[in-house]
Amino acid sequence: MRIGVAGATNWGLTLAWLLARDDREILAFARTPGEAGDVDKQRGLARLPELHLPPAVHVITPEEVDTVDALVVAIPVRSLREFLPRMPFARNVPVLTGTKGFESQSHLRVSEVLADLGWTDVSVLSGPTLAREVLRGLPAAAVVASSQPGSATFWQEALASPLFRTYSSEDLVGVEVAGAYKNVVAIAAGASSGLGFGANSLAGIMTRGLAEMSRLGMAMGAQQTTFIGLAGVGDLAATCFSPLSRNHQLGERLARGDGPAEALRNVGEVVEGAATAPVMVELGTQLGVELPIAAQVSAVMAGEATVLDAMNALLSRSLKREGI
């Protein structure tokens, strides 16, 4: 079987590494011949020293092959419409997206963008799966969501290993909302850590962030149980607490005095939560859902508030009964 992986990114190459077994040929698609040559020569990425690509993984550009049996998408949301049309493959092959976010202009989920580009069989992967830990062989678990049970099973079995456990779900909306929203909450959690506020504060942000993502997801038609599963509280906990998370790192840098643009540059990689926050706020407004953490993260990233302003705004909100 030949599986393509769109994106020579940290997560894209980690997924290529995971899939490279059982006589599979894995084609990791880079943006340019130069990038493909560099990654292939290094058999990995300098910024990801845990990665050592096995011989079954070939790093090329999408124009170098005309067919695959399945495709994995692991590129930033902002690059989807630029990069994916370069894939010369039939649009009915099974597709799995590991990209977490919403398109800024259209407010579409990633699976909806892929459908808009012509792919007809799209599944979504999410869960607490920090790339560096996966590559170290540390145990992890994830969920594959699809409206087609056969496709969820295909990807579930393709990825599963003794140290990488996979579950299936039919709740595409919930898994995608959770995967996108946790990045926003992780920025706030990182800011709390950067301010030295301690575990109590970070746990409070995470818990209230879970309530926000649940409210928004259910307003969009998701199942409430998804948010207490791997895609919800599982991924949220890993991203909020781990310094390996780029979104957490961004929040820390903002708390320590970097401006939004400077903080993004210093992280050095795409931080999806930064672009996702204003989209969540706009969706919340349209659906009548209150999202105070997303609103404050959006204000900080727009330069309209400092981290301390945002924290004070959250702490000074009117008292209310706890609940989703």
- Residue 126 pairs with which residues in a beta bridge? 143
Q: What angle do CA 234, 205, 124 make, to 5 degrees?
A: 30
| Residues facing 143 on adjacent strands | 126, 167
> Is 182 a known active-site residue?
yes
From CA 60, how far away is CA 86, in angstroms rounded?
A: 13
Instruction: Identify any residues that bridge with 289 across adjacent strands, giving them in sequence order.
Output: none
On whether the CB atoms of residues 97 and 7 are closer than 8 A, the answer is no
Tokens of 19: 């899939």
Q: Which residues contact 99 (CB under 8 A, 6 or more apart)?
A: 73, 74, 75, 76, 77, 80, 110, 272
Residue 231: DSSP 8-state: I
Instruction: Return the structure tokens found at 38.
Output: 């560099």
Annotated active-site residue in 41, 100, 182, 320 = 182
Rounded Cα distance between 183 and 271, Å, is: 8
Q: In what order do the strands lie in the sheet with 122-126?
A: 57-60, 25-29, 2-6, 70-73, 95-97, 122-126, 140-146, 164-169
What's the DSSP call for residue 292? Answer: H
Just list the catalytic residues. Answer: 182
